[in-house]
Structure 1
């Protein structure tokens, strides 16, 4: 009932977040937003203007009472520690069939685990308008692999970050601020 990829997925996100904290420590600057995007997906739409988003919760393409979308999120600094430590939920144990039924998980264990972890920490969720994700083509994934980006883009708020991205077929070039205002490390 629990996909075997969930624990490694959330462990990897936690390690990436630890690297972000180390980057903050070394640079003496804090990140305002964390952008989580699974590396085999790409955005088909431009992101909304960051200034228009609320900072009192996490923004995802979709959620309901039983799940939260776990492949893409815009996470304000205030909620990053909670979001990127989802394996704390249920003491890191896999759900039993009884847990799965009790929690009303209808759409995958990873989605359900994330939703209940965020609920436990009273983190509000907001739906992103018109964000479409699609499978990335191998050519779109190439720049991510070369730059060592895996699962997490870390962005400091800047004038470039506040501009919406421009739709393109490449994925990477759609967000010109990534190259100048982001940092990442390969895990």
Structure 2
């Protein structure tokens, strides 16, 4: 099992506020309906559904990958298509506001004979940019586009990174 820590208060906000979730009507019945209301989803179920929807929007879904939420920790189980997809899954769920940790319960790739490598991640510090990160890890600031490309679709612009965000560092 591998574990990565994230900055809980940094990242994309997809869960909405707890107050709004509590106020929202839970499966309102149509007017005049007499059937029993379905049980309301728990807050955890709502958050897992939001995480899964985020993965769908990023194109990182797989029927063989499953998410479990325990407090502020996401546990990923199943098989990813390849190393790059596995690393992007970790970052996509970890860089969500409210998530502090991602655990990879059973690291596996779809090709059983391919071993899972330890990913190289970098947490952005205040004042950093992709050029500085590329200089540190890849030896040349001009290689910043490689880091940008390695973090698509989570990044849409190389100038839009923020402190606390974790990024993939491509490995040759």
The answer, yes or no, to whether TM exceeds 0.5 is no
- If each structure's helix is expressed as a fraction of its own residues, which one has the higher value? 1
TM-score of the pair, normalised by structure 1 = 0.24
Q: Which has the larger radius of gyration?
A: 2
Larger RCO, structure (CA 8 Å, separation 6 or more): 1
TM-score of the pair, normalised by structure 2 = 0.26
